[in-house]
Amino acid sequence: MCIRDRPSAFGTVWGHSAEQKRDDDTSLKDVVAYRAHWIGLFMGWYGDGRAGKDVYFLAQGFKWNQLKEYNQNLRAEQDRLGWSDARDLLNASHRTLVAFMKDRTKGANTQ
C-alpha cells in the first residue's frame, strides 16, 4: 500500500494547506520532499558501496559540517515542486525502500 492510499496519512491534506509555510519557512510539502530525497541518498550510498564505487557522505562536494548549506540548496531545488509532486516522490521512495528491506530480510524470520 502506498502512502497515497492511506487516508490517515495524506488523503485529507489539500495542496494549499501542505504548501503553506510556517513560521520557520517550512511547509509539509517541504518536509515530504526532503524525506523522499534522503531515502534516495541512502539508496545511492548503499548502491555505490556495493558496486565498489566511492561513497560520498553527505554528497559529493559536501561534508557533514555543511549540512545546513546542503539543505538550503535542496530546498531551493525542491521549491518548484507542488504538493502532488512531493507526495509522488515520497510514495516512489517509500516503495523502493520497502522493497529494499524486504529483499534483505527474506528468510531472516525462518532461521
Give the model confidence (pLDDT) of 35-77 as tens digits: 999 999 999 999 999 999 999 999 999 999 999 999 999 999 9
Amino acid, single-letter form, for residue 16: H
Q: Which single residue is written with the C-alpha cell 559536501?
A: 62
Through-space distance between the first and last CA atoms of the chain, rounded to whole angstroms: 27
Q: Is the pLDDT of residue 6 over 90?
A: no
pLDDT, residue 10, reads 57
- Is 87 in contact with 10 (CB distance < 8 Å)? yes
Q: What is the mean pLDDT of the chain?
A: 87
